[in-house]
Amino acid sequence: MKIEEVKSTVKTQRISSHSHVKGLGLNENGIAIPIAAGLVGQESAREAAGIVVDMIKSKKMAGRAILMAGPPGTGKTAIALAIAQDLGNKVPFCPMVGSEVYSSEIKKTEVLMENFRRAIGLRIKETKEVYEGEVTELTPVETENPMGGYGKTVSHVIIGLKTAKGSKQLKLDPSVHESLQKEKVEVGDVIYIEANSGAVKRQGRSDTFASEFDLEAEEYVPLPKGDVHKKKEVIQDVTLHDLDVANARPQGGQDILSMMGQLMKSKKTEITDKLRKEINKIVNKYIDQGIAELVPGVLFIDEVHMLDIETFTYLHRALESAIAPIVIFATNRGRCTIRGTEDIISPHGIPLDLLDRLLIIRTTPYNRTNMENILKLRAQTEGLSLDPEALQQLADVGSKTTLRYAVQLLTPSALTAKVNGRSTITKDDVKEVSELFLDAKSSAKILTEQKDKFMK
């Protein structure tokens, strides 16, 4: 099985305004430490989130859903991202915003299903026949191009591998040469080569070279024990969406072994429901055989009130299927009309039957001290220096508007300070930018006052 070749399709998102958040900051008893891991205050929401993390880790949460509800700027997104950090990178976490489902090219439910499957992991354990060791020699052997011309081609590769127990010299196919280049293997690296597929995996630099001066961060690994040629347990984490993508193309074989290997061969076709069903079937077979294990991850849907009744219905049904992730919703809406309906008003704009399934975590507005601490943290992460008065001024702004707005004023204030030839932000800089820009509330106020001057 060439499962190494299934590419990961993890979504990367710009979450720069939350880059100071490193985790939930709980102690070993699950109690929130007032300021820790980049989070400040909001203790009960963080503790509740901690319980969710524990339940996810012990696999008691699949198919359930959580709603983070609270006013804007109270840390809903920040806490959801902290959950992701605490879960670690072995548990898939797929963030999306409700409005992502509205695309002119892809069906709403299709977007939702894709993200659903990005949030479900599969850990595959296999015993493989491999050659493993520290590379002692790496020589591509070239010959004249048999097709004529001036070029030379690699006819085979000679590679020497060393372990604590012995060493071996292998003569390998040119295709392995390409994988060696792709993994950027050099003499002194610890690698393994799969005997059947020829796939190469670089594990790191041998720790005998640990003192070597290196600009890039390197991972040093010990010299492997045992023989060069051996059986090794290989673990690979993929998501169901990775498998969908890898298989969404015309192919011959129906079993996943050959399917997974058919990457990048011909042009892509669409991921259909039929294909997904097929993949589920095979995945289930592997689970039954104990080769693979399901790792339900988290699908995080921010601004969930943006979903409409159709997507809610679809989501509700999907949550009930056998293979489902944990879904975390977030919203800052109170009672509002459910999108896509004429007049169904519901708490948070979520249909009542779905709401009924949810565990709700509340976030509450910050007090002034917490706000100051968060602003301080943000300034630190952005590498800005604030004088104490400026911090007070920002906290003032924050308590009148929202925390998010105050956080956003940091960068323009820093620019103003720079224009005035200072590296520290002062009270006046903050004042100046808050006079230049409007927050949402003041803007709304002006709109009502001067209604007749604006176009409808």
Cβ partners under 8 Å of residue 259, min gap 6: 246, 247, 251, 253, 282
Identify what 236 binds: Mg ion, ligand ADP, none; CB under 5 to 8 Å per kind. none
Q: Which is nearer to ligand ADP, 79 or 135 (CB)?
A: 79
CB of 121 to Mg ion, least distance (A): 25
Please pick, from the candidates 74, 331, 393, 401, the single residue that binds ligand ADP as defined by CB under 6 A: 74
Q: Is 18 in the site for ligand ADP (CB under 6 A)?
A: yes
Residues in the chain: 456
Other CB atoms within a 10 A radius of the CB of residue 17 amount to: 17
Q: Do residues 124 and 292 make contact, with C-beta atoms less than 8 angstroms apart? A: yes
Please pick, from the candidates 3, 6, 21, 87, the single residue that binds ligand ADP as defined by CB under 6 A: 21
Task: Calculate ∠ Cα 15-116-76, nearest 5°.
Answer: 40
Q: What is the rounded CA–CA span in Å between residue 270 and residue 426?
A: 56
Give the contact letters, 351-370, x = binds to ligand ADP (CB under 6 A), - = no.
------------x-------
User: Strand, coil or helix: what is 305?
Assistant: helix
Q: Is 41 in the site for ligand ADP (CB under 6 A)?
A: yes
CB of 331 to ligand ADP, least distance (A): 9
Q: Is 75 in the site for ligand ADP (CB under 6 A)?
A: yes
Identify what 72 binds: ligand ADP, Mg ion, none; CB under 5 to 8 Å per kind. ligand ADP
Q: Which is nearer to ligand ADP, 51 or 263 (CB)?
A: 51
Q: Which stretch binds ligand ADP (CB under 6 A): 4-12, 71-79, 164-172, 238-246?
A: 71-79
254: region left, alpha or beta (phi > 0 left; psi from -120 to 50 alpha)? alpha
Q: Is 126 exposed, middle or buried (0-12, 13-18, 19+ CB in 10 A)?
A: middle
Q: Is 401 in the site for Mg ion (CB under 5 A)?
A: no
Q: Which is nearer to ligand ADP, 157 or 394 (CB)?
A: 394
Which sign does the torsion angle of CA 164, 169, 172, 177 carry?
positive
Q: Which is nearer to Mg ion, 72 or 347 (CB)?
A: 72
Q: Is 426 in the site for Mg ion (CB under 5 A)?
A: no
DSSP string of 117-167, one letter each residue: HHTEEEEEEEEEEEEEEEEEEEEEEEEE-TT-SS-EEEEEEEEEEE-SS-E
CB of 28 to ligand ADP, least distance (A): 20
Q: Is 403 in the site for ligand ADP (CB under 6 A)?
A: yes
Amino acid at 81: L
Identify what 23 binds: ligand ADP, Mg ion, none; CB under 5 to 8 Å per kind. none
Please pick, from the candidates 32, 39, 83, 238, the single residue that binds ligand ADP as defined by CB under 6 A: 39
* Count of chain residues binding ligand ADP (CB under 6 A): 23
Q: Is 230 in the site for ligand ADP (CB under 6 A)?
A: no
Other CB atoms within a 10 A radius of the CB of residue 332 amount to: 18
Q: Do residues 11 and 5 make contact, with C-beta atoms less than 8 angstroms apart? A: no
Q: What is the rounded CA–CA span in Å between residue 119 and residue 400?
A: 38
Identify what 346 binds: Mg ion, ligand ADP, none; CB under 5 to 8 Å per kind. none
Please pick, from the candidates 42, 74, 77, 236, the single residue that binds Mg ion as defined by CB under 5 A: 77
CB of 108 to ligand ADP, least distance (A): 23
Beta strands in 164-272 (DSSP E): 167-172, 189-194, 200-206, 220-221, 229-239
Q: What is the rounded CA–CA span in Å between residue 452 and residue 456?
A: 9
Q: Which stretch binds ligand ADP (CB under 6 A): 65-73, 135-143, 243-251, 383-391?
A: 65-73
Residues that bind ligand ADP (CB under 6 A): 17-18, 21, 38-42, 70, 72-78, 332, 363, 374, 377, 403-404, 407
